[in-house]
Amino acid sequence: MLSTEEKVINLEALFADFMEASKKQFQNFDKYILRTDIRISQMEKRMNKFDEDMKELKKKSDEKWEKLKKESDERWEKLKKESDRKWEESKKESDRKWEESDRKWEESKKESDRKWEESDKRWEELKRQSELNRKESDKKYQELVRKLGIFLEDIVAPNMPTIAKEVFQMGEANFFAIRAKVKNSQGETREFDAVYIDDTAFLLNESKTNPKIEYINDFIEALENVYDYFPQYKSLKLIPVFSSFHIPDNVKKYLTKNKIYAMQMKDRTMEVINFDELKS
């Protein structure tokens, strides 16, 4: 068994070994710390270099981006200006063409309107001249008829059957005569200008180129004694008609008042001008 002294010596030896080992460990640790510091320093340098490189790269990238953006903006602005310029030119050209088209249309319309107005004027003048010519021709014709004294034969007589049938709804004539000379029971002879008789009616016409009231009164007197000359037609309806070239309103009223139909010329034929008044 070791003595106390031996134990102390052993303990001191162990402690010395421990201290030597610890010293070596601390030395190794210091070396490790130093190496670590060096590595950290190198890492920091690398990081700083990396940061500087990244900053430089970013700077170059930003510069390049700014340059590209500037170039793009310049190209876009140039393209926009060119597009706007072409649009304005196209719009001006289009406006000019529309204005030209409108101007031509207005000129064409004015010319067309002028021609239509001229045509209308010519047509109106032609109608007016034609009407004047027709009236003048009718006047000359009437004057010729008046001078020749053939109003009854050439104007009234040819129209009597038509007037009898279309105006007075008469049938085919059983008796029709112009300037009929008839005797009464006393042997007196009277001339009647026109007589048209069917199964139901007896149309008697008096014709004068000048419709004087005194002529109408003579016709009224003749109507009062007409059956003295035509007793065989006493049962038929009497239709008295007074004819002339032209019948003025006062004469028409006088005839209507005495229940006599008024008939005057219309163009080259005859018309009854108070039919509706007597019909009602």
| pLDDT at residue 166 in the model | 93
User: What distance lies between CA 120 and its chain's CA centroid?
Assistant: 21
The 10s digit of each residue's pLDDT in 83-135 is: 788 888 878 887 888 888 778 878 878 887 888 888 778 888 877 887 777 77
Q: Measuring CA to CA, which residue among 126, 216, 203 is closest to residue 161?
A: 203
Which residue's structure tokens are 């002339």?
244
Both tokens of 28, joined, read 């190794």
What torsion, rounded to 10 degrees, do the Cα atoms 15, 21, 24, 26 define? -70
**Domain residue ranges of the chain, discontinuous segments joined by +:** 69-148, 149-279
The 10s digit of each residue's pLDDT in 194-250 is: 999 999 999 999 988 888 999 999 999 989 989 999 999 999 999 999 998 889 999
Look at residue 149 and tell me whether its pLDDT is greater than 60.
no
Give the architecture-level CATH label for domain 149-279. Answer: 3-Layer(aba) Sandwich (3.40)
Q: Measuring CA to CA, which residue among 246, 178, 240, 163 is closest to residue 211?
A: 246
pTM over 0.85: no
Percent pLDDT > 70 in the chain is 91
